[in-house]
Amino acid sequence: MTTIKLRGNRTWAKIPVRGRPAVILLHGGMSSSRSMLRSIGPGLSTSFNVGAFDRRGHGRSADTAQPFTYEDMAEETIAFIEYLDRRVHLVGHSDGANIALLVAQQRPDLLKRIVAVGANYHFDGLMDFPLLRVEDPGFSQWAIKYAQLAPEGIEHAAVVLEKTNAMFRSGPSMTKQDLAMIEVPTLVMAGDDDVATLEHTTTLYESIPNAQLAIVPGTSHAVLKERTKECVHLIERFLRQKLPVVTYSPIRRTTAGHFPGD
């Protein structure tokens, strides 16, 4: 674990060693890499070399005065993969999943496969729930947790919340046509009580050519913590399986073809 410069910003990172295929974990919003490294990280590390980084203004990475946007976070992720100088698998949760979709659309040459857990490709696909506000009782609890890692300390927590909420209201804004351009093999995973509507999740799955879908029963947006072993099994099977998938009774996959570069 080290600190590197990404696009001029001081960034905390866990660099995967070379040897086995690299899996990069992309954490959710208002979170850090620590969450995924502690949940699915140990299980995946038995078959892959796991890496991660804290995005600007998250976890142990410093923030700037610039707003948060999914497009900027995708560029930051691209810079990290270029720093590694190898093709990788991306496993993203929540905002990290949204970012993985953008990277897959923009730079498929950097990727092998992606797993998008609890994703929403457009902001209008979210369920109707209130965003956390500074005046809410839960803010102080989150701010204390944020300050345990953040270089700027607890005083910056309200700034991060404001920038995050602004991003949630305006992004991401991908279309089904954008998703149809993704050639990177993709597993769409979600809890059956996740933050995106089930219709939005199934549209995401059906819009990406030859994607796979896993709805984990009895789980929420915290599916990686609620069913950790099950999620690791699903993710590992997808990352290791031979493609294209061959099933006994194909319907959607009757025209499945070769995945370029996989």
Residue 73: inside a domain: yes
Q: Strand, helix or coil at 79? A: helix
Q: Is residue 149 part of a domain?
A: yes
Residues 6+ apart with CB under 8 A from 248: none
Helix axes 137-147, 157-170, angle to 10 degrees: 110
Nearby residues of 256 by Cβ (< 8 Å), 6 or more positions away? 210, 244, 245, 250
Q: Please give the full DSSP string across 94-146, using - where no structure is assigned.
A: THHHHHHHHHHHH-GGGEEEEEEES--SBGGGB-S-PPP-TTSHHHHHHHHHH
Which residue intervals of the chain are DSSP H helices? Answer: 33-39, 41-44, 70-84, 95-106, 137-147, 157-170, 176-180, 198-207, 223-226, 228-240
**Per-residue pLDDT tens digits for 121-155:** 999 999 999 999 999 999 999 999 999 999 999 99
Confirm whether 245 is domain-assigned: no
Segment 17-65, tens digit of pLDDT: 999 999 999 999 999 999 999 999 999 999 999 999 999 999 999 999 9
Looking at the chain, the whole-number percentage of residues with pLDDT higher than 70 is: 97
* 182 in a structural domain: yes
Range of the domain at 226: 2-240
Distances (CA, A) of 100 to 2, 85, 117: 23, 17, 10
Q: How many domains does the chain have?
A: 1
Q: In this structure, what is the dihedral angle of CA atoms 39, 42, 47, 49, given to the nearest 10 degrees?
A: 100
What CATH number corresponds to the domain at position 222?
A: 3.40.50.1820
Residue 183: closest CA among 204, 202, 211: 211
Model confidence, pTM: 0.95
In a 13 Å sphere around the CA of 85, the CA atoms on its Cβ side amount to: 2
Domain contains 253: no
